[in-house]
C-alpha cells in the first residue's frame, strides 16, 4: 500500500485529513483498533487500545491505551477535525486470543474484554459498528487509507484482505 504511512502505536490515537495518509496499527494481538471515517469530511481516525477499562488502573496518564476512554476521545478528535457524527463510519479489528494453552485465563480474556468494552463505548456514543474483524487467535495488521476509508487486515496465515 502506497502513501504516507503513519504508524499508530499502542495507546495512541491518530486522526488525519492528509489525502496521502495511511494509518497503520501493526501486529495487533489482544489489542483493538477502532477506526472512524467521515468520507465527506475527508477525515480518518484510528485508536490502538490495549486494555478494556481505565477503572482498574493505577495509572491516569495516557487514556488512549484504554478502550473505554479511548473511543470517546477518538470521536472528539474526529469532530474537532471537522468530522460529523452523523456521517461516521466505524470499524473495529483485533481482540485476538493469543494464548490458547490452559492456565492463562487472565491473559486469555483480554482480547474478548477489549472487544466488549469497545462495543459498549460505541453504544454509549450512539455509534454503530459497520464491519468488524475481531477475535480468533491470530495477530493482525490494520491499515486505513485516509483518501478512501478503505481498510485492509493482514494476518500471517491469510495475507492482506479488504475489510470494507
Partner 1 sequence: MSKDKPATDRKLSWTQIITGEKSGIILKAGLEHAAQNLSMMVGREITITDPGIETIPIQNVISYGGNPETEMVGVYLLIEGDLRGQALLLLSMEDAMYLVDLLMGEDPGETTSLDDMGQSALAEVGNLTLSGFLNTVASLTGIPVKPSPPAVVVDMRGSILTMVVALVAAMSDELIVIESAFKDADRALQLRFWILPEPALDVLNKIN
Q: Which of 2, 40, 56, 159 binds partner 1 (CB under 8 A)?
A: 56
Using CA atoms, how far apart are residues 47 and 160, in angstroms rounded to an integer?
20
Please tell me whether residue 69 binds partner 1 under the rule CB under 8 A: no
**Interface positions, 10-49, toward partner 1 (CB under 8 A):** 10-12, 26-31
Closest CA to 48 of 82, 8, 21, 85: 8
Nearer to partner 1, 96 or 146 (CB): 96
| 93: annotated active-site residue | no
The residue from 1, 4, 5, 9 that contacts partner 1 (CB under 8 A) is 9
Q: Counting contacts by CB under 8 A, is residue 6 touching partner 1? A: no
Closest approach of partner 1 to the CB of residue 12, in Å: 6
Catalytic residues: 31
User: Under the rule (CB under 8 A), what is the footprint of partner 1?
Assistant: 9-12, 26-31, 50-51, 56-59, 61-62, 65, 96, 98-101, 103-104, 106-107, 110, 138-141, 154, 156
Amino acid at each position: 500500500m502506497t502513501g504516507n504511512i503513519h504508524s499508530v502505536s499502542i495507546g495512541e490515537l491518530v486522526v488525519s485529513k492528509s489525502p496521502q495518509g495511511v494509518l497503520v496499527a501493526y501486529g495487533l494481538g489482544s489489542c483493538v483498533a477502532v477506526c472512524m471515517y467521515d468520507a465527506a469530511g475527508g477525515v480518518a481516525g484510528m485508536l490502538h487500545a490495549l486494555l478494556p477499562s481505565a477503572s482498574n488502573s493505577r495509572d491516569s496518564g495516557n487514556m488512549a491505551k484504554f478502550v473505554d476512554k479511548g473511543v470517546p476521545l477518538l470521536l472528539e478528535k474526529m469532530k474537532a477535525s471537522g468530522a460529523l457524527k452523523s456521517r461516521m463510519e466505524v470499524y473495529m479489528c483485533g481482540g485476538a486470543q493469543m494464548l490458547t494453552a490452559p492456565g492463562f485465563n487472565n491473559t486469555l480474556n483480554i482480547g474478548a474484554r477489549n472487544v466488549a468494552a469497545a462495543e459498549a463505548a460505541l453504544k454509549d456514543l450512539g455509534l454503530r459498528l459497520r464491519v468488524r474483524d475481531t477475535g480468533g487467535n491470530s495477530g493482525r495488521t490494520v491499515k486505513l487509507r485516509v483518501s478512501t476509508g478503505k481498510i485492509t487486515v493482514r494476518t500471517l496465515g491469510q495475507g492482506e484482505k479488504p475489510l470494507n
